[in-house]
């Protein structure tokens, strides 16, 4: 379907549902908002919205529908196909029809647009419905949705994952955390899928997608507390060869051993299966990965004296037991990766950067079992390049707050360029004023977190800052005049 046809179809459906007022009303509203904008532009800096991101006042809805109608970042074809997919959500979850009422989906509550793609985040107990299918007339390759996050008590959402979502090629983050979901019939049917997923030796390119249940390119997957059941699918590594972070904790009806096929899942960095009935030892290959797979599980899996006999009904359980030579990383390569020299940076830069990063372990305790190597470049969520260190703790279930810079740290020697906590919704607290002294810091994101408080005036001294995203947080107060000194700032998102 061409772009004009697709756009026309969406427009017709929108009119049938009375999503759009008459054109004359739009013109009148456009002039009204323009006049309002001109008057506000000459006034003092506005107060930031102190209300919950999930609450929209009537005036704000009206403003969102009339200003900046041009959708940035994407081609006309990408806009049309993305809109056609997102427009299915209000039909599947009728409550959204009260706020998702504009053609500019970037202005919809819970939708965030950037050059990287479109992020959808819904956090509400009042949503009732189901997850929508991808319309048959839509080209999934042009749907720019990269992240879908649905969190809450889940008392009204049927969490069965639509089969058509397998074709969302841009989707890299998927979080379905619907706590206390009572009806098993509405849970993700991993059990049935697993029975259809036989061990495969063929290449991933020849794999039948019907044997998979997650989009092929996902990297960060969190499906916790959903009452899902069954064994872990052996075909996971072939279906999803890019997954780094897989969170399946607190689904007590997941059982059985970790499939031996997962020993070849080289992209995997973190697996959380706490609160499940998974048993047996982990694949021995994991200790030789770089970095080794971080496994968060019960003693049935992690205890070396228990895991070998914890699955008595599984005849192949012995194949999962680590030998004496593989129960710990003994190869020189893995040992050097963990405790060997750190590339790229001077000794002073290494010492001060490590000191700055280690403070996060004190304020976010979930990092303590993950950040243990002396070489911080192999830590999960940390990426080292000659340009600097990027920390991307995104889409996690971690609790805590971010620390101030210790007085003992020489900030001129800290080579951290990126601190991204987006979609880690339990990260909370005030914005650290002392981060202003991090003169290498270029990128900061707390989007979709519980961060709160006022914007630090000290951050006006961040002379390297180019990107700052504080959207969907609890930020309030005045916009600091000192931020006018942020000469390199290219992107500022406070909506």
**pLDDT tens readout for residues 119-178:** 999 876 567 888 899 999 999 999 999 999 887 655 567 657 888 999 999 999 998 876
**Would you state the torsion angle of the CA atoms of residues 406, 412, 413, 416, taken in this order, to the nearest 10 degrees?**
80
pLDDT reported for residue 305: 79
Pick the CATH number of 3-330 from 3.30.450.30, 3.20.20.70, 3.80.10.10, 2.40.50.140: 3.80.10.10
Pairing of the two strands 388-392 and 382-385: antiparallel
pLDDT tens readout for residues 176-214 = 876 544 333 333 333 333 323 333 333 333 445 556 889
pLDDT reported for residue 59: 31
pLDDT reported for residue 210: 55
Q: Is the pLDDT of residue 313 over 80?
A: no
Q: How confident is the model at residue 81 (pLDDT cuts 50, 70, 90)?
A: very high
Which tops the pLDDT comparison, 253 or 113?
113
Mean pLDDT for 415-440 is 93
Residues of the chain with CATH 3.80.10.10: 3-330, 340-493
Give how far the C-alpha of residue 466 lies from the chain's centroid of Cα atoms, to the nearest Å: 21
pLDDT reported for residue 85: 96
Mean pLDDT for 25-33 is 39
pLDDT reported for residue 200: 31
Contacts of 36 (CB under 8 A, 6+ apart): none
pLDDT reported for residue 413: 96
Pairing of the two strands 111-114 and 117-123: antiparallel
Query: CA 218 to CA 437: how far, in whole Å?
Result: 36
Contacts of 33 (CB under 8 A, 6+ apart): 62, 63, 66, 67
Contacts of 306 (CB under 8 A, 6+ apart): 299, 300
HSE of 19 in the Cβ direction (CA atoms, 13 Å)? 24
Contacts of 247 (CB under 8 A, 6+ apart): 221, 222, 223, 224, 270, 272, 396, 397
CATH number of 340-493: 3.80.10.10
Contacts of 175 (CB under 8 A, 6+ apart): 148, 149, 150, 151, 220, 221, 222, 223, 395, 423
Which of 28-32, 136-140, 328-332 has maximum average pLDDT? 136-140
pLDDT reported for residue 12: 46
Q: How confident is the model at residue 286 (pLDDT cuts 50, 70, 90)?
A: very high
Mean pLDDT for 458-465 is 94
Query: CA 378 to CA 15: how far, in whole Å?
Result: 53
Q: What rounded mean pLDDT belongs to the chain? A: 77
């Amino acid at each position: 379907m061409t772009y004009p046809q697709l756009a026309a179809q969406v427009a017709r459906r929108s009119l049938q549902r009375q999503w759009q007022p008459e054109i004359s009303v739009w013109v009148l509203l456009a002039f009204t908002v323009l006049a309002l904008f001109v008057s506000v532009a000459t006034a003092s800096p506005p107060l930031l919205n102190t209300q919950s991101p999930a609450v929209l006042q009537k005036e704000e809805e009206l403003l969102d529908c009339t200003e900046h109608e041009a959708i940035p970042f994407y081609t006309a074809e990408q806009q049309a196909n993305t809109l056609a997919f997102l427009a299915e959500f209000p039909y599947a979850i009728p409550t959204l029809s009260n706020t998702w009422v504009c053609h500019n989906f970037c202005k919809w509550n819970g939708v965030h647009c950037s050059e990287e793609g479109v992020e959808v985040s819904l956090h509400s107990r009042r949503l009732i419905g189901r997850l929508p299918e991808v319309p048959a007339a839509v080209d999934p390759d042009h749907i720019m949705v990269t992240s879908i996050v649905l969190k809450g008590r889940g008392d009204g959402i049927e969490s069965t994952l639509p089969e058509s979502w397998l074709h969302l090629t841009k989707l890299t983050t998927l979080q379905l955390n619907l706590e206390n979901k009572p009806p098993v019939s509405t849970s993700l049917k991993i059990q049935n899928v697993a029975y259809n997923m036989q061990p495969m030796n063929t290449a991933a390119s020849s794999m039948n997608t019907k044997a998979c249940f997650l989009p092929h390119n996902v990297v960060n997957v969190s499906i916790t507390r959903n009452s899902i059941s069954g064994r872990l699918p052996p075909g996971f590594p072939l279906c999803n060869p890019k997954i780094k972070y897989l969170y399946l904790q607190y689904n007590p009806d997941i059982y059985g051993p970790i499939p031996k096929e997962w020993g070849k899942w080289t992209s995997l960095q973190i697996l959380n299966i706490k609160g499940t009935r998974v048993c047996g030892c982990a694949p021995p290959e994991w200790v030789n990965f770089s970095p080794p797979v971080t496994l968060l599980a019960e003693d049935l899996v992690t205890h070396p004296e228990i895991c070998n006999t914890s699955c008595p009904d599984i005849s192949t359980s012995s194949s999962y037991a680590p030998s004496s030579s593989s129960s710990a990383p003994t190869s020189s390569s893995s040992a050097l990766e963990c405790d060997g020299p750190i590339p790229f940076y001077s000794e002073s830069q290494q010492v001060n950067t490590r000191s700055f990063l280690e403070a996060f372990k004190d304020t976010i305790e979930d990092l303590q079992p993950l950040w243990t190597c002396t070489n911080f470049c192999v830590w999960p969520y940390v990426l080292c390049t000659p340009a600097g260190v990027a920390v991307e703790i995104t889409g996690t279930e971690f609790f805590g707050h971010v620390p101030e810079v210790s007085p003992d740290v020489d900030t001129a020697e800290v080579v951290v360029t990126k601190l991204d906590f987006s979609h880690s919704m339990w990260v909370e607290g005030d914005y650290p004023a002392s981060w202003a002294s991090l003169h290498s810091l270029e990128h900061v994101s707390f989007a979709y977190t519980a961060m709160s408080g006022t914007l630090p005036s000290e951050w006006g001294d961040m002379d390297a800052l180019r990107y700052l995203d504080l959207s969907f947080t609890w930020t309030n107060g005045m916009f600091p005049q000192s931020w006018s000194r942020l000469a390199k700032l290219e992107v500022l998102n406070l909506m």
